[in-house]
C-alpha cells in the first residue's frame, strides 16, 4: 500500500481485499478466533458466540470449509455430532487475529 497523492485513484492491496472478502463477513473472524483454542462441536461454537444464529453459523462454517480454513469431522452416534477444527491454513491466521485483538484492546473503547 503506497501513499496516494491528492487526486489519484485510491486502490486497496489485493491481499487485503481477498482476506476481508472472506473474514470481513459478519461472524467469520469470530468463528475462526473461537477455533484457535481447539476443535469444538457445533453447539459449543454456537454457545460461545452470543448472538449468532444456528443458520448463520452453519453458513459461515460451510464457507470456511470451502475456503480450506476449517474442516469438519462427523462423529458416529447416536447421537451423530460434528466437530470443527482449523486446518493448517486456518491456524496460520493466529498471529494476524491476535494482532487485531491487541489493536482492539488499545484503540476500541468497546473492547476494553
- Asked whether residue 67 is domain-assigned, the answer is yes
- Asked whether residue 26 is domain-assigned, the answer is yes
- Asked whether residue 9 is domain-assigned, the answer is no
Q: Interhelix angle for 28-35 vs 14-23, to 10°? A: 80
CATH number at 33 reads 1.10.10.10
The rounded distance, in Å, linking the Cα atoms of 105 and 111 is 5
Residue with cell 486497496: 12
pTM: 0.83
- Asked whether residue 6 is domain-assigned, the answer is no
pLDDT at 4: 58
Local confidence pLDDT in tens for the 112 residues of the chain:
556 577 777 777 888 888 888 898 999 999 999 999 999 999 999 999 999 999 999 999 999 999 999 999 998 888 888 999 999 999 999 999 999 999 999 999 875 5
- Asked whether residue 37 is domain-assigned, the answer is yes
- Asked whether residue 45 is domain-assigned, the answer is yes
pLDDT at 58: 97
- Structural domain that includes position 49: 14-106
- Asked whether residue 88 is domain-assigned, the answer is yes
Q: How many domains does the chain have?
A: 1
pLDDT at 43: 93
pLDDT at 63: 97
pLDDT at 11: 77
Of 15, 30, 88, 18, nearest to 61 by C-alpha is: 30
- Asked whether residue 8 is domain-assigned, the answer is no
pLDDT at 14: 87
Amino acid at each position: 500500500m503506497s501513499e496516494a497523492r491528492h487526486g489519484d485513484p485510491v486502490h486497496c492491496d489485493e491481499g487485503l481485499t481477498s482476506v476481508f472478502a472472506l473474514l470481513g463477513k459478519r461472524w467469520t473472524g469470530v468463528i475462526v478466533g473461537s477455533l484457535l483454542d481447539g476443535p469444538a462441536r457445533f453447539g459449543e461454537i454456537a454457545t460461545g458466540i452470543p448472538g449468532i444464529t444456528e443458520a448463520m453459523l452453519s453458513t459461515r462454517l460451510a464457507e470456511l470449509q470451502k475456503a480450506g480454513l476449517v474442516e469438519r469431522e462427523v462423529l458416529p452416534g447416536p447421537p451423530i455430532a460434528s466437530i470443527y477444527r482449523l486446518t493448517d491454513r486456518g491456524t496460520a491466521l493466529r498471529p494476524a487475529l491476535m494482532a487485531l485483538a491487541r489493536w482492539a484492546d488499545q484503540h476500541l473503547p468497546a473492547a476494553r
